[in-house]
Structure 1
Amino acid sequence: MADFDTNIFQRDTGRISYYQYQTGSKDEARPLVVFLHGSGERGFKNQMPLLGNDVPKTIHDYISEHENAVLLVPQATWAPELNGWFRPEIRKTLLSLIKSKIQSDNIDSKRIYLVGLSNGGAATWHFAEHHSDLFSAIVPCCGYIYNEDKSFVGAAGEGRYMHPRMAEAKALKETPIWAFHSHDDHTVNVQGTLEATEMVKKCGNQNVNVTIYDDGKVTPNPHGCWEPAFDTPTLLPWLFSQRKA
Structure 2
Amino acid sequence: MTITRRQLLLTTPALSSALLSACASMPPTVPDGLAAGEQRGWQLEGERFWVWLPREYTQRSERWPLVFFLHGSGERGTDLQKVKVHGPPMWVDRGVAYPAILISPQCDDRARWEPDRLHKLLVALQARLHVDAERCTGTGLSMGGFGVWNWATAYPRDLAAIAPVCGYGDATKVAAMRNVPVRAYHGDQDAAVPLAPHVACVEALRAAGGTASLKIYPGVGHDSWAPAYQDPDLLAWLLSHKRT
TM-score range, shorter chain: 0.7 to 0.9
For residue 217 of structure 2, what is the aligned residue in structure 1? 213
Residue by residue over 1:189-242, the C-alpha shift from the partner in whole angstroms, topping out at 9 and shown as x without a partner, is 10121000001111112x31210111x2x2xxx101111111112221111111
Q: Which residue of 2 aligns with 1:161?
A: none
Q: Which residue of 1 aligns with 2:154?
A: 130
1:223–1:111 distance in 2 versus 1, CA, 3 Å: same
Conserved 8 A contact 2:80-2:106 = no
Contact preservation (8 Å) 1:21, 1:60: no
Query: Under a length normalisation based on structure 1, what TM-score does the superposition of the two structures give?
Result: 0.77
Corresponding position: 1:56 with 2:89:
yes
Q: Give the C-alpha shift of residue 18 in structure 1.
A: 0.7
Q: Which residue in 2 is equivalent to 1:6?
A: 41
Task: Tell me the equivalent position of 2:27.
Answer: none
Richer in helix (by share): 2
Pick closer, same or farther for the CA change 1:58–1:192 going to 2, 3 Å.
farther
**How many residues matched?**
205
Instruction: Choose which of 125, 129, 137 in structure 2 pairs with 1:101.
Output: 125
Counterpart of 2:200? 195
Aligned counterpart, 1:22? 53
Match of 2:3 in 1: none
Q: TM-score, normalised by structure 2?
A: 0.77
Unaligned runs of 5+ in 2: 1-36
Alignment-mate amino acid for residue 196 of structure 2: Q
Question: Which secondary structure state, in structure 1, belongs to the residue aligned with residue 227 of structure 2?
Answer: helix
Kindly indicate whether the alpha-carbon contact (under 8 Å) linking 1:60 and 1:71 is maintained by their aligned counterparts in 2: no
Which entry has the higher C-alpha Rg, 1 or 2?
Answer: 2
RMSD: 2.1
Q: Return the alpha-carbon distance in structure 1 between the equivalents of residues 177 and 92 of structure 2.
A: 24
Equivalence for 1:76: 107
- Distance in 2 (alpha carbons) for counterparts of 1:123 and 1:195: 17
Q: Unpaired runs of 5+ in structure 1?
A: 147-163
1:153-173: CA deviations, max 9, x gaps?
xxxxxxxxxxx21xx121121
Runs of 4+ in 1 over 4 A off after TM superposition: 59-63
Counting aligned pairs with the same residue, the percent is 29
